[in-house]
Amino acid sequence: MHECGGADNEPSLATDQRTRRSGLQRRHVLATAGSAVSLSTAGCVGTLGSITGGSGSEDPITIGVLAPNPDSDFIGRSIVRGAQVAVNELQEADGIGGRDVEMVVGDTNSSPLEARRQYQRLILEEDADVTVGVFASESLMALMDDIAEQQTIHLTSGAATAEASRLVSEQYDKYKYHFRAGPTNNYDLGRTQVDFIDAMGSDIGWNSLAVLVEDYQWTSEPWTVYQNQLADTGADVVMQERYPPATDDFSGIYDEVQAAGADVAFITTAHTGTAALLDWVTPQPRPFAFGGIHVPMQLPGYYDMVGGACRFGVGQSSATATSTLTDKTQPFVQAYQNQFNGNKPVYTGYHTHDAIALFANAVENTGSLDSDTLIPELEAASFTGTTGTVEFYDKDHEFAHDLKYMRDETVYFQWQENDEGEGVQEIIYPEKHATSEYITPPWL
């Protein structure tokens, strides 16, 4: 998936972190030198009370957070803020096993190389006991060998590539430290599209599809799913195109969609999403609907960003600020808004919050920070998070340690306008979570 963001006037959480304890507590250096082993050394076994750090058992448990450009990027900022909400909740509940909890942030700067630098800093210098976050798939793949080397649990809460989980499946003992708390991987994202059309296509008049997919690495898995499964829904695929990267003029593509008689431009986009949306409605609205996986439309402020041009557009997400997917969804949304000047989380914020809450629950249940003790606990987990049930595919699955895809927990929303003229992400699928019915664009 691709970072879509912009600056606002809020202070950065990355600049507000407390000063860390001094000294380099490098895991492997200390272990081989025979020095006292730090709190987060991989392989320490025992209860929380018996694991000691450099200054004794009262050292805080440290959460390392990896996020792209948290000062300016909506996606990265939501990762950091979702983590802060989770850490604050843990602190208010007497920490983890009676131990304080703190977080440290590494800005990956949307770069695989910088992601590695920041990961190593969080683990080797900041002594993180777990890491969460990472958005770009390229950054996650660059980290997989580092995660394996450090033998420290990492819970992804942004990147969607299925290649990370395939590594866990193929070389379990080496890569077993990686879990994906969300979102669903890019193969399962393709399944969400198929299942949405199967469940809702005929009801909303999307019987003929023009399948449009931007030609970036992250879309290779969804594209394969569409080729193999969309026809089984009964929908008529009248056009399919994996269009060039960085396309910024869709007029020619939309001429083809229109000529094919498609009911909808059924899109999968992140990098090119705003150009695709604007060309749908300007200079004249096109005679077909618009929707699918559209990363920019997931942003809570997108309606204002595009002057309402996304009205009637349909998008997929893990949750929206209007949703009540579990009894934890709205408390998280409210806590997030209360802490951050009324701003609403992006999907990465929900998943990061859940990743930290899940880790804390596993530590409480096992009484240990040892990765090898925690792994079977996480593998067996069935945890209610803000977006639904967090369970992982088992180690023998093709997508080992990935968030299990659950069809009835996938959310599709439509941008609609309320009585005050404000844009709202109203859920239209699944029915059990729906906050509104689909509204056909008035020009169709």
| Residue 57 pLDDT class (50, 70, 90 cuts) | low
Q: Is the pLDDT of residue 35 over 70?
A: no
pLDDT value at residue 5: 37
Domain boundaries, the chain: 13-183+328-407, 187-317+410-433
| Residue 408 pLDDT class (50, 70, 90 cuts) | confident
For residue 390, list its beta bridge partners: 383
| Residue 227 pLDDT class (50, 70, 90 cuts) | very high
Q: Is the pLDDT of residue 52 over 50?
A: no
Torsion angle of C-alpha atoms 299, 301, 306, 311, degrees rounded to 10: 80
pLDDT value at residue 297: 97
What is the percent of the chain with per-residue pLDDT over 70, rounded to a whole number?
87
Please state the rounded mean pLDDT for residues 14-19.
35
What's the pLDDT tens digit per position in 188-211? 999 999 999 999 999 999 999 999
pTM of the model: 0.87
Q: Is the pLDDT of residue 300 over 70?
A: yes
Query: Which position has the token pair 């986009």?
Result: 269
Tokens matching residue 21: 């304890």
| Residue 228 pLDDT class (50, 70, 90 cuts) | very high
CATH of domain 13-183+328-407: 3.40.50.2300
What's the pLDDT tens digit per position in 76-87? 999 999 999 999
pLDDT value at residue 33: 28
Q: Is the pLDDT of residue 132 over 80?
A: yes
Q: Is the pLDDT of residue 9 over 80?
A: no
pLDDT value at residue 48: 54
Q: Is the pLDDT of residue 8 over 60?
A: no
Tokens matching residue 47: 């209860």
Amino acid at 49: G
Q: Is the pLDDT of residue 14 over 70?
A: no
Check if 13-183+328-407 and 187-317+410-433 are the same fold: yes
Please state the rounded mean pLDDT for residues 247-267.
98
Buried b (16+ CB within 10 A) or exposed e, 57-89: eebbbbbbbbbbbbbebbbbbbbbbbbbbbbeb
d(CA 289, CA 312): 8
Q: Is the pLDDT of residue 431 over 80?
A: yes
Tokens matching residue 219: 């879309």
Angle between helix axes 329-339 and 74-92 (nearest 10 degrees) is 100
pLDDT value at residue 34: 28
Q: Is the pLDDT of residue 25 over 50?
A: no
Q: Is the pLDDT of residue 46 over 80?
A: no
CATH of domain 187-317+410-433: 3.40.50.2300
Tokens matching residue 202: 């005929």
